[in-house]
Every structure is written in structure tokens, then in C-alpha cells.
Amino acid sequence: MADTEKTGKVASINYRTDFLFEVKLDSSTDTFIAEDTMNQTAVDLAMMRGVKVVLTIDQSGLIRRVASEPADSSLLSAQSQPGAPQNVPLTRISTQVHGVTGRMFCEVFFKDASGDEKSVQSFDPVIEHLAGSAFLARKPIGLVLDPIDNNRLLGISKSALE
């Protein structure tokens, strides 16, 4: 049986230590399970921002991919300075499994200096966490890209400056 996609806003998350991370969408009565921290974080971030997601669900009910729709760009922090690539506003965070390696990775989407949405990828859950907290707070962040592969995110730089 092939994977299916479910779309909606995250209505609830239920988790207890040593139990399942259960996710329900507002458009379904089904419960889906997020096993890994990248998908758990992406689901939580989408719920906190109130954006719709497309969940890719396998035949066991496990979430294999989280794709969130962009946040309303009018809600992005006024601090963002489009001319400064080290200070970019994030628009969404999604996850998926790499087709070759089978490893989970996150995609961090942002507005570039011209206002176009771009994305970079990371296999590091700490990157997803740091990007996610900036996304929730609507704060721009600095992205450290791989000098050889500029689609690969190597680091994040954040400051508490208002």
C-alpha cells in the first residue's frame, strides 16, 4: 500500500514520556504518529504558527514527511532586513526523508533579498530546533551555507537584539 497525504491544521498533539507522539489534524478523526524528533518538531512548529500542513503517512500511520504552507508574510518581524542575507525572515519549515540516504532532513524556507522564497536543507535536528524557535518568534536569523553546496545549511546565527 502506498503512502497517503493528509492536509489540515494540526488540531492536537499528545505525548507522554516513553509513549507515542500522537498528532490529529482538524480535517480528520485519524491519529497519526511522529516517531522522530524532526517530524515532531515540524508538527509542533506548524501548530504553534497556525499554518496548514501536508502529512505524508505510511501504511502504519507513521508520519514520514511534514510540509507546511508558508506563514503569512505580513506577520514576519519588522526587524527583517531584506538587503542583509545574514538576517533573513523564515517562512516555513518542512521535513522529508532523503531519497538516496533514507535519512530524515529538514528544509528551512526563507525570503531572500529580492523577496523570493528559497530553501536550504539540514540533517541536524539542532538546526531545525534553532530555526524553529526563530520561526515561532518571527525573528530573522543568519544562515551559514555550505560554500560548495549552497542548498546545504551548516549553521545558524541568532542574536537577542531587538
Q: What is the mean pLDDT of residues 32-45?
A: 90
- Beta-carbon contacts of 118 under 8 Å, excluding residues fewer than 6 positions away, are 109, 110, 111, 112
Whether residues 52 and 79 fall in one domain? no
Looking at residue 18, its pLDDT comes to 67
CATH code: domain of residue 13:
2.40.50.70
Question: How far is the CA of 162 from the CAs of 77, 79, 140, 149, in angstroms?
Answer: 10, 8, 11, 32
Q: Retrieve residue 19's grid coordinates.
A: 509513549
Phi first, then psi, for residue 157 (nearest 5°) are: -125, 130
Q: Which of 3-12, 40-49, 83-92, 113-122 has the highest mean pLDDT?
A: 3-12
pLDDT band at 125 (very low <50, low <70, confident <90, very high): confident
Highest mean pLDDT among 2-6, 18-22, 136-140: 2-6
Q: Which range marks the domain in which residue 50 is found?
A: 4-68
Mean pLDDT of the region 114-126: 89
pLDDT at residue 155 greater than cutoff 70 = yes
Residue 112 in this model has a pLDDT that exceeds 90: no
Domain-terminating residue out of 68, 87, 104: 68
Q: What is the pLDDT of residue 81?
A: 35
Higher pLDDT, 30 or 155: 30
Query: In angstroms, rounded to a whole number, what is the distance separating the alpha carbons of residues 52 and 44?
Result: 12
Question: Are both 32 and 78 inside the same structural domain?
Answer: no
Give how many domains the chain has, as a whole number: 2
Residue written as grid cell 498528532: 23
Around Cβ 160, how many Cβ atoms within 10 Å?
Answer: 5
Do both 104 and 129 map to the same domain? yes
* Domain CATH for 145: 2.40.50
